[in-house]
Amino acid sequence: MTSRSRHPGDESAVTSAPADSTGQAVPGTASAEPFRSEPGARPRALLLSAGLVSAGAVALAVGALLPAVRGGSPGFAAGPLLVVLALAPAVAVVYALVTGRPGLTAGLVLGLTALAPGRLLLDLQLLADGSLAARPELFLADRLLALPPAGPGLWPLVGGHLLTLAAGAFAAGTARDEAELAGELDGRRRWRLLGPVLGVVGGIGLLLAPLGSGNAYLLAKNAFEGPTVAMAGYLLLAALLPLTVLVAVSSPSAGVGKGGFAGAGLAALAVGVPPVAAGLVVDRLSVAPGSVLVTVAGLALLGLAFTRFDVEEAGEAATGDLAGEARLPGLFWWRLATGGLALLAAAAAVAGALTPVLKANGPTPVPETPARWLLLGAAVALAVPALFVFVPRLSPFARGVVAATWAGVVLAGAGVLSAALSVTEDKAVDPALFGVDLPLPSPDKVGYSAGPGVTWTFVALALAAVAALAAVITGVVERDVTDDAAMDTGLDGSRANGTVLSPVVAAAVLAIAAFGTPVFIAPGYTAPGLWSDFGAASWGLLGALAVVLGLYALVVRSRPIAAAAALAGAALVLGLRAAELPLVGSEYEGASAGIGFWLALGAAVVSLVAGVMAVAGSRRSG
């Protein structure tokens, strides 16, 4: 048996080497030496990846010093800041390499590589149409421009991102080797569990406007309102940041995990810091919450890379004294975070439902969206189980319900935002908002702009997503800290009875049909759908359906109480779907129940029956 195939604790296979604070063995030992001759070692690939990252960093620094748009200039002297942000990751990679930490090196490279495609798209917006790019650190127009040509600085920026992408291909093998050497993942790395939360927070920040603007030549918009190429970049970054952190969390190698955190954090800082600096120093620009969230998430991820990732780092055996674990976030704090975030999300949803979604730009009646009542119902469905998360005996069940009912906020919130977007697409613009006198349409013309209800709804969606992630992490910690002597909550080691498979499959089929067909029909009303009439509100349907189907998929592999909680939560989401008939349909004259109403009710009932069967079956088998 080679050292690469050994099992944890098998001391006959290889003698373990002393570890340093990074979780890697100290330089000079067989397991840490980057030029080791063990089977599967990739010293040349690691050197090549570090070289590519360094070359890419130099290219990014050069691009930051040259004009990105021909004939244009940045809004402030951002060159030194951009050079530091470009070179810092390369310095970290080279330092990790020369100090004999292959896992840390590979993790850093992969963390940088994962976010490179999104950053590349943000820079390519300058090629597509620089006048629409909110990048004052590279270009800030001082006059009206139509499709300004790209400058010499853009091409080194593009080359730098491509070199970083190539580096990841060579580092992946080393990361896989380090994971195999490390053995199986330690279940007590609770500091790591903060990483996905930070990734989601940073992803939310990437979807918000990067800065505030009172400059007529720089219209700061969120990811969904911005130009196409930049929108694709922000959406890709928002998806890949939490995914990258999640992959780092799951790596058995402490070095690879820490490197992934640090690489993702440094890449996030390169995106978030420049808009913050621009908002502080450029006239008529201001700091926006979006870039602040990205910057804070990047700094926190970088800080987590310096924390203990596993008990072995402190010289403790995995089966030995775990007293040091008392300093790590415990189950109480994760339950507090889950319940608190869910209640905050519910409160924001209530604010989104009760405050105006639209405001008129003139003496025009403001229409109200009927979807606001569904959002209010979703807030109640989320808040009630969130209150019981704080009760220790009921917390496991309530936490599982919260992990499902957050999808109700997604379902209802998408409807509210869809109604606002459909009305405000052709809104009038007030020149006074930009501090200049331009021949823009008069604000007295008929038109609407987003009201505070849109902001609160967006906040509710973001908080609900973070609460769901916290609920999942709390479940991981529950399984970690619950032992056989404390099974009075039903969290025993058995799984749900296999008889629940049939009703779960039936519920899944009904759920797909329920979300794909109208809950109510009314004269002149076209319901958003999944198969036809796909619109902004359809994303809420798709998201809620994905959550429900995911819960069904996990039921047969879950413990009885967890299975029952998941099924109860799915039933609540389906019940909320059916509640569209009285809550939304009542606002339309002549509305009547559609086939989706009966399908949603049927799926909810079958889900509840399956939940009862899961608990009853486990008691009979016990």
516 and 418 part of one domain:
no
Structure tokens at 297: 């998430």
Q: Contact 329/192 with Cβ under 8 angstroms?
A: no
Where helices occur in 27-76 by DSSP H, the ranges are 43-65
Query: Does one domain contain both 525 and 380?
Result: no
* Spatial separation of the C-alpha atoms in residues 217 and 145, rounded to whole Å: 9
In this structure, the answer to whether residues 261 and 399 fall within a common structural domain is: no
Sign, CA dihedral 301-305-309-314, equals negative
Q: Which residues of 97-136 are buried (b: 16+ CB within 10 A; e: fewer)?
A: bebbbbbbbbbbbbbbbbbbbbbbbbbbbbbebbbbbbbb
What would the two tokens of residue 468 be?
């769901």
Is residue 418 assigned to a domain? yes
| Cβ neighbours of residue 425 closer than 8 Å, sequence gap 6 or more | none
Instruction: State the DSSP H helix or E strand holding residue 81, giving kind and residue range, or none if neither.
Output: helix 79-98
- In this prediction, residue 572 carries a pLDDT of 94
| Number of separate domains in the chain | 3
Chain centroid offset of residue 40 CA: 34
Q: Are 260 and 111 in contact (CB under 8 A)?
A: yes
Lookup result for tokens 């063990």 = 38
Helix axes 452-481, 331-354, angle to 10 degrees: 160
SS3 content of the chain, % helix, strand, coil (to 5): 65, 5, 30
Same domain for 603 and 539: yes
Q: Which tokens belong to 559?
A: 């413990």
Using an 8 Å Cβ cutoff, are 403 and 370 in contact?
Answer: no
Task: To the nearest 10°, report the CA torsion of 566, 567, 568, 572.
Answer: 100
Give the pair of three-digit tokens for residue 544: 């809620």
Tokens of residue 392, six digits:
């220790």
Task: Calculate ∠ Cα 85-112-53, nearest 5°.
Answer: 75
List the one residue out of 255, 416, 395 whose CA is nearest residue 336: 395
Predicted pLDDT at 586: 84
Domain hosting 406: range is 331-426+447-482
How far is the C-alpha of 258 from the C-alpha of 308, rounded, in Å? 9
> Is the same domain home to 405 and 549?
no
Distance, CA of 209 to chain centre: 16
> Could you tell me how many residues make up the chain?
622
CA dist 484 and 496 (Å) reads 17
Collect the ranges in the chain with pLDDT lower than 70. Answer: 1-42, 144-146, 183-191, 309-330, 360-367, 421-450, 480-498, 617-622
Do 286 and 375 have their domain in common? no
pTM over 0.75: no
Q: What is the largest CA-CA distance in the chain?
A: 83
Question: What separation, in Å, do the N-terminal and C-terminal C-alpha atoms of the chain show?
Answer: 41
Dump pLDDT digits (tens) for 561-601.
888 999 999 999 999 999 998 988 888 888 888 999 999 99
Q: Give a yes or no: residue 335 inside a domain.
A: yes
Q: Is residue 466 in a domain?
A: yes
Residue at 372: amino acid letter: R
Which single residue is written with the structure tokens 């329920």? 514
pLDDT at position 445 = 44
DSSP 519: S
Instruction: Report the alpha-carbon distance of residue 339 to residue 343 in Å, rounded.
Output: 6
Domain end, chosen from 306, 339, 366, is at 306
Question: Do 452 and 509 fall into the same domain?
Answer: no
Q: How much is the pLDDT for 558?
A: 79
Can you read off the two tokens belonging to residue 452?
């505070």
Q: Which two tokens stand for residue 292?
A: 């602040």
Q: What pLDDT is attached to residue 59?
A: 95
Residue 303 tokens read as: 């800080």
Q: Do 352 and 410 reside in the same domain of the chain? A: yes
Domain co-membership, 374 together with 282: no
pLDDT the model gives residue 15: 36
Asked whether residue 366 is assigned to any structural domain, the reply reads yes
Q: Is 55 contained in some domain?
A: yes
In 3D, which of 219, 279, 211 has the Cα closest to residue 436? 219
CA atoms within 13 A on the CB side of 118: 25
Identify the H or E element spanning 593: strand 592-593
Q: Which helix (H) or strand (E) holds 449?
A: strand 448-450
**CB 545, CB 586: distance < 8 Å:** no
And the tokens for 1? 């048996």
**Amino acid identity for residue 162 in this structure:** L
pLDDT of residue 190: 58
Do 263 and 114 reside in the same domain of the chain? yes
321 assigned to some structural domain: no
Residue 327 has what pLDDT? Answer: 39
pLDDT computed for residue 28 by the predictor: 37
Same structural domain, 300 and 370: no
Query: What is the model's pLDDT at position 144?
Result: 67
Using alpha carbons, select from 197, 238, 479 the residue that is nearest to residue 338.
197
Q: What is the pLDDT of residue 273?
A: 95
228 lies in some domain:
yes
Assigned domain for 557 exists: yes
**Do 275 and 396 reside in the same domain of the chain?**
no
φ, ψ dihedrals at 24, nearest 5°: -100, 160
Supply the CATH number for residue 538's domain.
Answer: 1.20.140.150
